[in-house]
Amino acid sequence: MTEKSVIFFDIDGTLLNHDKEMPASTKEAIFALKEKGHEVAIATGRAPFMYEDLRKELDINTFVSYNGQYVVLNGEVIYKNPLITTSLVKLTEAALENEHPIVYMDHEDMKANVPDHDYIKESISTLKVEKFPTHDPNYYKERDILQSLLFCPEGEETQYEAVYKDFDFVRWHPVSVDILPRGGSKLKGIEKIVEKLGFPKERIYAFGDGLNDREMLTHVHNSVAMGNGEEEIKAVAKYVTKSVEEDGILHGLKMVGLL
């Protein structure tokens, strides 16, 4: 009998390829893991409403959303870590002066502080999700905002990094940056789930490819970087598998001995 493990998968560039399609081998591998009794979870920067269909398709009810700020175990919310509202107000004022729009996101929806902007369209469209942010400049004042998106060209986020120390800024697109609570990461969300499940570090696995996977792949005991991943992410991972398109998930799971 194989010892039970928990495996966390990033979505974009890991479960899904550049065209947001999932290789058949990946789906088969996920269900093979579940048949062996392993726990399968998602760890993503996406909002929970951006991958409901994927969770249903793979029958996954445990997930880390918003890079660790919203954590669900077997369908139950076990952790939320919202952005500090007073700091978000100040950041919004500065961003508006620089004509850098912001999208505010909670567990249910996302709203933009401007009615229309090319950067928002350009970046959000690459996710190929049905939901698109509508306009509500006061959305962040009424609820817990778990993540925001700042829209600016590469390099221009440094002016905010120097001033707004309550936040971490992680670029995910040439014109968009994730705004996270300082110190927030997928790793923190994973730790919340592992605490509840009681797995030893030797039986924790994580697959990822992007800059927001750095902490996760640096510290999870069995970390696997995708072949299509960022070079600096491959450098911190314990293993490097093939690309998504080359059946990288299946290959990686075989490589670490889970399949």
Question: How far does the chain reach from its first CA to its final CA, in angstroms?
Answer: 13
Q: Say if strands 147-151 and 102-105 run parallel, antiparallel, or are unpaired.
A: antiparallel
Give per-residue pLDDT as tens, 91-119: 999 999 999 999 999 999 999 999 999 99
State yes or no: is 247 an active-site residue: no
Contact between residue 131 and residue 125 where contact means Cβ atoms under 8 Å apart: no
Class of domain 85-181 as given by CATH? alpha beta
Angle in degrees, 0-180, between the axes of helices 24-35 and 248-255, rounded to the nearest 10: 40
The pLDDT value given to residue 131: 84
Tokens of 191: 């730790």
Q: Round the CA-based radius of gyration of the chain to a whole number and report it.
A: 18
Given a cut of 70, whether residue 29 has pLDDT beyond it is yes
Which strand ranges, in their side-by-side order, compose the sheet holding 63-65?
A: 76-80, 70-73, 63-65, 39-43, 6-9, 204-208, 222-225, 239-240
Residue 131 CA to residue 135 CA, distance in Å, equals: 13
Give per-residue pLDDT as tens, 123-176: 999 988 888 999 999 999 889 999 999 999 999 999 999 999 999 998 899 999
For 6-80+184-255, CATH gives 3.40.50.1000
pTM of whole model > 0.75? yes
pLDDT band at residue 38 using 50, 70 and 90 as cut-offs = very high
* Domain boundaries of the chain, sorted by first residue: 6-80+184-255, 85-181
- Reduce the DSSP state of residue 156 to 3 states and report it: coil
- Catalytic residue from among 10, 12, 168, 178: 10
Is 6-80+184-255's fold the same as 85-181's? no
